[in-house]
Amino acid sequence: MRTAISERLGIEFPLFAFSHCRDVVAAVTNAGGFGVLGAVAYSPDQLDTELTWLDERTGDRPYGVDVLVPGKIDASALDRRVHLLDAVPDRHRDFVTHLLSKYGVSAPGRPLTAVADEFGRRVTAAGATGLIDVALKHRIGLIASALGPPPPEMVTRAREAGVPVAALVGTVEHARRQVAAGADLIVAQGTEAGGHTGEVSTMVLVPQVVDAVAPVPVLAAGGIASGRQMAAAMALGAEGVWCGSLWLTTEEAETAPAVKAKLLAASSLDTVRSPSRTGKPARQLRSAWTEEWDSGPESPGALGMPLQMLLAEGAMARIGTAAEKGEPGATELVNYFVGQVVGQLDQIRPAKDVVYDLMGEFGEAVERLRRLSE
């Protein structure tokens, strides 16, 4: 299958797989798609190690890197802090302590301050710049800005390296701003998607964005986990699709077993857009964590980004450890970012099989449409 974007990137099938797991990225890339590694989980040194591994395992096939570059963060709150968690109000820290106690989370884990310091540095402009520096030293075929317009330095340096810049959007207005900022590829992400999303559905958003930014190519994201859904996205004018949730239950995924079990058991009604993990509305698996933060009588309300992330990541590290030990309270709390297609994720399969099945079903869907037009 050839589209303008598959021709430009030199890939066989315009299926873009976003994952924080290098094994998924390599498997999809080697199967003919285009893996994209989410970099926010890594320090610059760790990212360099991961990309070196990918360079060695993907040969001359291209892959991409996604960097979280917040457009608006309360950076002033982090100035001159010995520990970033010190910028978080006491009542919010107390609420996390209350939740861990209420649900009997006993796993000590790493100190919350250490997790917050490590994670928080990566979601500032300086932290993102360090990851961009590392990414552009490797043989990547695409770099994506996950939040807000790509900063001028990112666009300039990517252009110098001959690397296209992608940007995720949830509205037509955002798409126009991203193109004005220098994005070469727009990912139109509907509200069905996992992670940070807007309120417009994929079916409505994609054709509007395609028309608004032409001739800039557009990928469709949100609610796509099958070849039929991919065919629908292409019919709307997209030149490919961007999938994330689809890979969470693959064999290669590093998804924690307790989370993977919850994903496999969930229906499409079991997700919610909540600021409880990052400070911005992000679709995730509904759990006691989201319920307590969003509507619990004692909740102080979510903080903005990145302060809510500092709290949540530290707490989730402990909760995840406890959930893996089978602690029932921790299992109620634990969750992960996932889209409404979670209802279609009902088995564990190798990532390459997912790619091949999606290719086959896409072909069948296109053939069906061809027959209807005869």
pLDDT tens digits, one per residue of 234-263: 999 999 999 999 999 999 999 999 999 999
CATH code assigned at 131: 3.20.20.70
Single-letter residue type at 140:
I
pLDDT at 50: 97
Helix then strand then coil, % of the chain, to nearest 5: 50, 15, 35
Q: Within this chain, do residues 145 and 239 fall inside the same structural domain, yes or no? A: yes
Same domain assignment for residues 365 and 232: yes
> What is the reported pLDDT for 184?
96
284 and 318 share a domain? yes
What total of structural domains would you count in the chain?
2
Same domain, 356 and 234: yes
The reply to whether 66 and 175 lie within a common domain is yes
354 CB-near residues (< 8 Å, 6+ apart)? 246, 247, 250
Does any domain span residue 261?
no
Q: Identify whether residues 53 and 187 lie together within a single domain.
A: yes
Residue 260, in any domain of the structure: no
**Segment 19-34 mean pLDDT:** 97
299 and 325 together in one domain: yes
| Rounded Cα distance, 39 and 318, in Å | 22
Judge whether 259 lies within some domain: no
Count the Cβ atoms, other than its own, within 10 Å of residue 4: 12
Same domain, 190 and 69: yes
> Does 313 fall in a domain?
yes
339 within domain boundaries: no
Residue 341 located in a structural domain:
no
Mean pLDDT score across all residues of the chain: 91
Q: Are residues 111 and 132 in the same domain?
A: no
Nearest to 85 by CA among 51, 55, 57, 119: 119
The verdict on residue 216 lying in a domain is yes
pTM of the model: 0.92
> Confidence class of residue 116 from pLDDT cuts 50, 70 and 90?
low
pLDDT score at 120:
59
Mean pLDDT of 202-222: 98
Same domain, 192 and 211: yes
Spell out the residues 6+ positions from residue 368 whose beta carbon is closer than 8 angstroms to its own: none
Residues 6+ apart with CB under 8 A from 183: 145, 149, 150, 155, 165, 166, 167, 216
Say whether both 205 and 292 belong to one domain: no
Range of the domain at 279: 75-118+269-333
Please check whether residues 220 and 356 belong to one and the same domain.
yes
The pLDDT tens digits for 41-100 are: 888 999 999 999 999 999 999 999 999 865 544 444 444 445 677 788 999 999 999 999
> Is 276 in a helix, a strand, or coil?
coil
Q: How many residues does the chain have?
A: 374
Six-digit token string for 298:
């004692």
- Please state the rounded mean pLDDT for residues 314-326: 92
Q: 6 or 109, which is more confident?
A: 6
User: Residue 232: what residue type?
Assistant: A
Whole-angstrom Cα distance, residue 8 to residue 21?
Answer: 25
Contact (CB, 8 A) for 69 and 299? no
pLDDT at 123 over 80: no
